[in-house]
Amino acid sequence: MFHLDNKIALVTGGGSGIGRAVALLFAKKGAVVCILDMDEQGGTSVANEIQAQNGQSIFLKCNVAKQKEVDQAVDTIVSKYRAIDILVNNAGIAHIGTAETTREEDFDRLLDVNVKGVYNCLHAVLPIMKVKGGVILNLASAASWVGLSERFAYTATKAAVVGMTLSVAKDYLSQNIRCNSVSPGRVHTPFVDGYLKKTYPGKEQEMFEKLSKTQPVGRMGKPEEVAGLILYLCSDEASFITGSDYPIDGGFIKLNS
């Protein structure tokens, strides 16, 4: 079950965190993994790790907020592999602030990456997928369900991702293209470590434990756990699922109220 043999998978933000976990798992399950990331060192490292384990992977440096860069990356993938069967829109950035304290430039930056970046990838990949069908998986967030304190711009962009997921699922039913999203709660990634180091110097461990306990299960999620759900939704075993958003949040959404 859950094999992706000979599938061509494009994973944005595949150089670290959840994207890295997805890339490694997809490769293990037989997919050819094409990694798009701004982080050349991280993206190259993941591609090399896959190749060292006898998997197939390439890395393409790409800013998903730039349509020309996305189009060029997709053209490179299609010229090499003739198809894109799976698209995982994982690349995203976060921001702390309310509607009052969020600066215009920060709001625009989140829109560019988290919303326009997803659109750019959809715009480039959907015409390719229409030939024989495919699967799209977008990364939303628990924030899109409940809202998070001082995450105004982030919450807005992730709610937009859920809306785009529903729209694509409906528009491309007849082309055999499925589109779903997942909404993680707090997941322990390098971003979390960097945020704690920058925001709470000297109190990283204390704040890590405090944030971990906001999930009813008492800990943060692991990137590999989110990757497992994404694998299922992108596999043939999930062929009856489209237009849905799946929380994976340690009970945060439903059990904290």
C-alpha 233/C-alpha 2 separation (Å) is 9
C-alpha 56/C-alpha 48 separation (Å) is 9
246 is catalytic: no
DSSP H helical ranges for 82-235: 104-110, 117-129, 143-146, 152-171, 190-199, 204-212, 223-234
Place of tokens 């699967």: 135
From residue 71, how far is each of 83, 121, 123, 128, 177 by CA, in Å? 14, 8, 9, 12, 20
Q: Which residue is catalytic, options 81, 119, 154, 200? A: 154
**Residue in 132, 119, 44 with CA at minimum distance from that of residue 84:** 132
Helix (H) or strand (E) holding 19: helix 17-28
C-alpha 13/C-alpha 10 separation (Å) is 10
C-alpha 60/C-alpha 216 separation (Å) is 38
Catalytic residues: 154
